[in-house]
Amino acid sequence: MNQAGPAWEITQVHQQRLAAGSAGDNVRSASWMLVDDGTVVLTAAGQSHLLRTGDAALVGGQVRHRLATHDGAAVTVADLRAVSVPYPLANPLVVRDFAGRHSGVAALVRRCPLSGPCSPMVLFASGYALLLGAAMTASWLEDSGREIGRQEPPALDPAVEQVMTALTANPGDAWSVERMAGSVHLSRSALGERFRRSLGQSPSEALREVRMRAARALLTGGDRPVEQVAYAVGYGSGAAFSRIFTALHGIGPQAWRDGSVARHPDRGEAGRADGSGHRTDEEHPPDPVAVEERAS
């Protein structure tokens, strides 16, 4: 795929303390975590990983996971997401002694989180994402016995690349798995196999991530009502959009927007963001996402 855009994306880095005996919710959202103090158990993809002080882990958005601790712990958490990474990274990806191996990166995110007293401007978000993504990738290459810089990244399947380019260019279109497959002259099953082999996810999961990425950009960088954002990224109702957004991010789109404005007060809301007075639910065709998810 064209690598013109950022390979990694991030909007939030914050520190949280887990109380002794706590077990978080089972969520499905992209997440990076660094254990600052104590030990935690990360459960993801049917396996449990004990993370000690200094360890880090990255979980992709399509894998449900939860954090638990017996004696309490302090953790730095970010919504780090791989956008276009040329390596098939493990999911979840656990890096032992991340804080020791990448002390400068660890110190940066601990001392100056994106949401907190330091509050760096939005310009730094892409830098944070690239630093964290590069550190996690480099550690994975080293731990898995690969030589950094000595291997050509695997080429993306041409059909998958063509479909992803079309999805990214037009996330608001009425996409279905059948339409994606037809655009590259493949059957549904053949396209699904190529997506899983190349990206580790189904076509409908890839579409959802493309739409959510577009939605985050619209919510963070503009003042469109949430209903209009839903319409722009391909959802036929604000309710369907909010449900899927909340399931993937842990908070609703309006709360996401409010948090973005709080972090960057120069981006004030020009008007109400509840969509009142807009009839996009009736004007837009029915949302195809539920059909795609059942059929994928």
Closest alpha carbon to 236 in 281, 275, 266, 206: 281
| Domains of the chain and CATH, by start | 8-143 (2.60.120.280), 158-295 (1.10.10.60)
Average pLDDT over residues 214-243: 88
Please tell me the distance from the alpha carbon of residue 162 to that of residue 252, in angstroms, as a whole number.
31
Secondary structure element (H or E) that encloses residue 8, with its range: strand 8-9
Q: What is the pLDDT of residue 279?
A: 35
Q: In what order do the strands lie in the sheet with 56-59?
A: 13-18, 73-78, 31-38, 56-59, 93-95
* pTM over the 0.75 mark: no
Question: What pLDDT, in 10s, does the model give residues 1-21?
Answer: 444 445 888 878 888 899 998
Tell me the pairing of strands 73-78 and 13-18.
antiparallel
Question: What pLDDT, in 10s, does the model give residues 85-143?
Answer: 666 678 889 999 999 999 998 888 888 776 655 554 555 677 888 889 889 988 888 88
Tokens 């196999």 — which residue? 193
